[in-house]
A and B are shown apart, each in its own frame.
Chain A
Amino acid sequence: MAFHHALKIQEDVCMGCSHCIKACPTEALRVKEGKARLIAERCVDCGECMRVCPVNAIFIEEDDFSRIFDYPHRVALVPSVFIGQFPRNIVSRKIYSGILEEGFTDVYEVEHSSGILMELINNYLDAKPGIRPVISSFCPAIVRLIQVRFPSLVDNILPYKAPLDLAGIYFRKKLQDQGIKPEDVGVFYITPCAAKIAAVKSPVGEEKSPITGVINLNTLFNRVYSVIKREEKGYCIVPEKEQLLPEEMVWTLTGGEAKHVKGRCLSIDGIASAIEFLEKLENNNLGNFDYLEMRACDEGCAGGILATTNRFLVSERLRSRVDQYYIDKNEGKIIDNKNITKYKDYIAGNSMIGGIEPRSIMKLDEDIVQAMKKIQKIQKIRGYLPGIDCAACGSPSCRTLAEDVVQHRAHTSDCVFVAIKVKGGEGMNQVVDFTEEIWGKERFRNMLPE
């Protein structure tokens, strides 16, 4: 099975350090021949490697912007965090207009569909009291994390598509009802993260995504911001056709989803927090919860790896947009006109995702006898290794090196300390002495049989 990953390593920029291999929550990276290498089936596209890379060697592949012009109808599906990238004095209408200036024929905020999803979630919880907690399917990095690291929890994942897909389904149908041929419509999602790209290119539990292509959020931000600045005066501002509701504006921020779900709900953000929680959930020792909102980025999508503005500012900006909504509403400036609700039944009918399969990255062998032999071998190899997790071998820890050795991806002598012990000699012994001054006397004594 092939996995599409939007995260790419630029080999000419990568300087071969250990930051990314240590940061990866699924141990998907190794350094080989001086460059970081990705083990594709392990990667969940969370983007943690990109955050820690000191030389920006990791980037997110995107569709060529000019591709939008292949379609007579070009829809920009924008997440509300996109609006939050801009300074507060630039109103959403102005941002929409800038997006249209850049060549799109329609702009639609993804979260318009979240109200319909909310209803689906609450109905699902009522219909399935036996499945608890239900885990949100919203963040694709979390869905993939559960598949590869917490396979026993896949049945807890909500079997509904994310707002992005629902909005795409809606907009396609809406244009189709206006007599526009489906092949003339290009729906482009403006993504704040790599995981959403992977979700579009190789969806989990869906045959085909309604999304045609993906544009990185920072790319469109730079284009739109420069248009807005350039055309400050005499700028044509289109009226807002459909107003996003306040709860929809902050839906992708931490707590935005759980707030509207009935019962006992938790909001968990950040991939390390998610792993810690899922680990405990597998042991059944956290008590009973109805629903878990779980996102791989701190502050939810505001913390997306492609955001240009600091996540706390984005979050504040969106909350002030909510305040502004109520001010406008009091002044009678807001006409609640949500066209999407007319398509509720159609969207709901197309909202289910198929089975989400576990695909454990942890199993050592399909054959249990072989796997048991490998576990014994790993334990033995770990006894030789120093246990300091220095990553000089190119694996993130001594344990992963031992696993790589039994999987024929590495050699025990990739460990510099083992190599020193094996090669021996006067000079080498001195090296051991020096290293022991740092890591403690006798630390390396028992590593290899003399």
Chain B
Amino acid sequence: MKAGYASSNVKKILNQLNLDPVFIRRIAVANYEAEVNVVAHAFKGVMKVYFNPAKIRIVVEDEGPGIPDIEKAMQEGYSTASEKVREMGFGAGMGLSNIKKNTDQLDIQSTLNKGTVVEMINYIQNSR
């Protein structure tokens, strides 16, 4: 399983904006978790980054099993990751709660057997 490529590229771009390093790091952590979720659970996914001087908005959209109970999935330690994924050190059930911790605004839409859309917004003014 190779995850981290997309979020690493996004981090490179964010680093080119004159933003607070801690602000960038929060987005990088959230973004990486979102990418890992796609690689661990879904079949394929797209990460889109939108930015303007007010906010960074990242939308991660996947085609996959979807999340049956989003509220439950948000709880720390809750995981549906396969044994194989856990063996690789992922699937500790911290993903979504970690994303929540590191975003100013989080929206998750999921349809069973279709896919999930994770929208993460961080406000730049909060970083200064």
CA distance A197 to B24 in the complex (A): 32
Cβ–Cβ contact B21 & A152, under 8 A: yes
CA distance A362 to B11 in the complex (A): 11
Contacts of A374 in B (CB 8 A): 16
Cβ–Cβ contact A363 & B16, under 8 A: yes
A55 at the A/B interface (Cβ < 8 Å)? no
Q: How far is the CB of B117 from chain A (nearest CB, A)?
A: 22
Cβ–Cβ contact A368 & B28, under 8 A: no
Q: How far is the CB of A41 from chain B (nearest CB, A)?
A: 15
Q: Mark A269-286, 1 if CB is under 8 A from B, else 0.
A: 000000000011011110
Q: How far is the CB of B74 from chain A (nearest CB, A)?
A: 18
Knowing A282-B11, A283-B32, the reply to whether A365 touches B18 (Cβ < 8 A) is: yes
B124 at the A/B interface (Cβ < 8 Å)? yes
Q: Mark B53-78, 1 if CB is under 8 A from A, else 0.
A: 10000000000000000000000000
Within 8 A of B (CB), among A385-409: none
Knowing A372-B51, A372-B53, the reply to whether A283 touches B16 (Cβ < 8 A) is: no
CA distance A287 to B8 in the complex (A): 18
Knowing A284-B29, A375-B13, the reply to whether A368 touches B4 (Cβ < 8 A) is: no
Cβ–Cβ contact B124 & A368, under 8 A: yes
Q: Mark B4-38, 1 if CB is under 8 A from A, else 0.
A: 10011001110111110110110011001000100
Cβ–Cβ contact B18 & A283, under 8 A: no
Contacts of B16 in A (CB 8 A): 362-364, 371, 374-375, 378
Cβ–Cβ contact A285 & B51, under 8 A: no
* Chain B contact residues: helix, strand, loop or mixed: helix
A1 at the A/B interface (Cβ < 8 Å)? no
B126 at the A/B interface (Cβ < 8 Å)? no
Interface size on A, residues (CB 8 A): 25
Cβ–Cβ contact B21 & A358, under 8 A: yes
Knowing A368-B124, A375-B17, the reply to whether A362 touches B12 (Cβ < 8 A) is: yes
CA distance A374 to B24 in the complex (A): 18
Within 8 A of B (CB), among A363-385: 363-369, 371-372, 374-375, 378
CA distance A365 to B4 in the complex (A): 26
Q: How far is the CB of A332 from chain B (nearest CB, A)?
A: 51
Residue numbers of A with Cβ under 8 A of B are 151-152, 154, 279-280, 282-285, 287, 358, 360, 362-369, 371-372, 374-375, 378
Additional A-B contact list (9), CB under 8 Å, known A363-B17, A372-B52: A152-B24, A154-B21, A284-B29, A360-B15, A364-B18, A368-B124, A369-B53, A371-B18, A372-B17
Which are the 7 A-B pairs with shortest beta-carbon distances? A152-B21, A362-B15, A151-B21, A152-B25, A283-B32, A363-B18, A371-B17
